[in-house]
Amino acid sequence: MGAASLIVLILAAIAFSAGAILIAKVVTKATKNKQKAEPYESGIPTRGPSWVQFNVGYYLFALLFLIFDVELIFLYPWAVAAKKVGLLALVEIIIFFFILFMGFLYAHKKGALKWK
Amino acid sequence: MWSLSNIAANIDQWLNANMSPTWALIVEMVIAGVAVIGLFAALGLVLVIMERKVSAWIQIRLGPNRVGPKGMLQSLADTLKLLVKEGMTPGGADKLLFNVAPFVAMIVAMLLLAPIAFAKDFQLWDLNIGVLYISAVSSISVISILMAGWASNNKYSLLGAMRSGAQIVSYELSAGLAVLAIVVLTGSLRISDIIQAQENGWWLFKGHIPVIIAFIIFIIAVTAETNRAPFDLAEAESELTAGFHTEYSGMKFALFFLAEYVNVFIVCAIGATLFLGGWMPFHIGNWHAFNGVMDWIPSSVWFFGKTFFLIFVIMWFRWTFPRLRIDQLLNLEWKYLLPISMFNLLLVTLIAIMGWHF
């Protein structure tokens, strides 16, 4: 069906979700009170805000991911052509991986892969 | 005769004979939309009952057996129950993001259906960069999880979303490298080309040990990407209540739940397509009689059989391995899976270039 299918799929997803939520809204009876609107914290009253500064470890991994993800994007065109190019492609990718692996070892040495 | 592609072709022919091309396209779009919604709902119902039955079977108990014959209508009853539950938004939440997040999750799950070949010549969009499309769209799903977790204004949700974010982006790398092994062997990103290349044998059998390693890495990585046990830290119910969807209730929760199960189906379908030949029947060399019998089974049965086998394997994992801690999880990916899959890709390239595969 071609690219039109993407429009169909997006509209179908929105229609499905919106339909389900609307039907639920019509058939249920909503009540409001202050305790109910509080965030769940195992039953005790909520303490302090939730939007706080977060462990930096997660961001370190996100940064590392960024480097390797860009590498992955470069690999896609290479992977399609690899068979046609032959052994040269293998040599090229070994050099590419070698440089990348040096970076990986550097990150490892710096302790970026250690969970703090 | 009665194959899915013939039915689709007949509908297309009939519509084009009776209407102008524009209207025919519009009617086809409506049919496709209704079909994918139906598939979504059916998958949700089937996978939930399957999960419960499989876990009951593994733990030697009965599982749901009251609603309908052998409890088969249990998930329908659960859906009805969720429908009449109030879908509330907590007071301190970011209202817009909180309500948009389930939509994003559903749209991503739905968009991933486009390049999947359900049967012979039965595919919504056979685009020439199918594999790249899949990895690009599937990485959007982490945004919906982060949105839900952050907007809930709940500590459990935020912690679950952060864990899930770190986990999904990490395991995407080794999943991508495992998929690239097949791209190198096929030399094409188009899904139909990849399936066609497996006509005389699935890649899992043709590609020697490196492809088997890639397959194992792929299964581990997608288990982590779909947040399933043993990698279900994001919603570890014993420590985080329900992770990123703690604050969600009613239908909004059901949408997340559904998107999660459909994602499991989709990653298994991709695994079946890349490694197990998609709708290709099981063929052995030149055993013509055997191959003839295998060809007789419809292609859609092959596809769904392989996919549900992989889903069963992933459900099996859940009751076999204990949950990992976040540092163990990231260690597994960065110190083992990533270097192994990089080295494995080199091996696969060597095999592909030297033509050592069957």
B155-184 pLDDT tens trace: 888 888 888 888 888 888 889 899 998 898
Position B2 scores a pLDDT of 62
Position B309 scores a pLDDT of 92
The mean pLDDT value of chain B amounts to 84
Which segments of chain A does DSSP mark as H helices, in order?
4-27, 57-85, 87-109
Domain parsing of chain B, residue ranges: 1-84, 92-354
Position B120 scores a pLDDT of 80
Q: Do the chains contact at A39 and B172, CB–CB below 8 Å?
A: no
Position B16 scores a pLDDT of 79
User: Is pLDDT above 60 for B1?
Assistant: no
Position B307 scores a pLDDT of 92
Distance CA B244, CA B100 (A): 14
How many Å is the maximal CA-CA distance in chain A?
70
Closest listed residue to residue B171, CA positions, set A69, A100, A106, A76: A69
Mean pLDDT of A60-89: 85
Q: Do the chains contact at B183 and A37, CB–CB below 8 Å?
A: no
Closest listed residue to residue B220, CA positions, set B131, B314, B312: B314
Amino acid B358 reads F
pLDDT, tens digit, for every residue of A32-54?
Answer: 777 777 777 777 777 777 777 77
Domain parsing of chain A, residue ranges: 55-116
What is the band of B3 on the pLDDT scale with cuts at 50, 70, 90? confident
Mean pLDDT of A92-110: 87
Q: Do the chains contact at A24 and B353, CB–CB below 8 Å?
A: no
* Residue A77 or residue B71, greater confidence: A77
pLDDT, tens digit, for every residue of A6-42?
Answer: 888 888 889 888 888 888 888 887 777 777 777 777 7
| Nearest-5° Cα angle at B75, B70 to B79 | 150
Residues of B in contact with A69 (CB under 8 A): 169, 172-173
Q: How many CB pairs under 8 A join A and B?
A: 214
Q: Does A106 touch chain B (CB under 8 A)?
A: no
Cis previous bond, B230, omega within 30: yes
Distance CA B188, CA B210 (A): 19
Q: Is the ipTM of this complex over 0.95?
A: no
Identify the weakest region by mean pLDDT among B54-58, B73-77, B120-124, B239-243: B239-243
| B104: closest CA of chain A, how far (Å) | 9
Position B319 scores a pLDDT of 87
Minimal Cα distance from A100: which residue of B? B342
What is the band of B311 on the pLDDT scale with cuts at 50, 70, 90? very high
Position A116 scores a pLDDT of 67
Q: Do the chains contact at B84 and A50, CB–CB below 8 Å?
A: no
Q: Do the chains contact at B32 and A23, CB–CB below 8 Å?
A: no
What is the band of B216 on the pLDDT scale with cuts at 50, 70, 90? very high
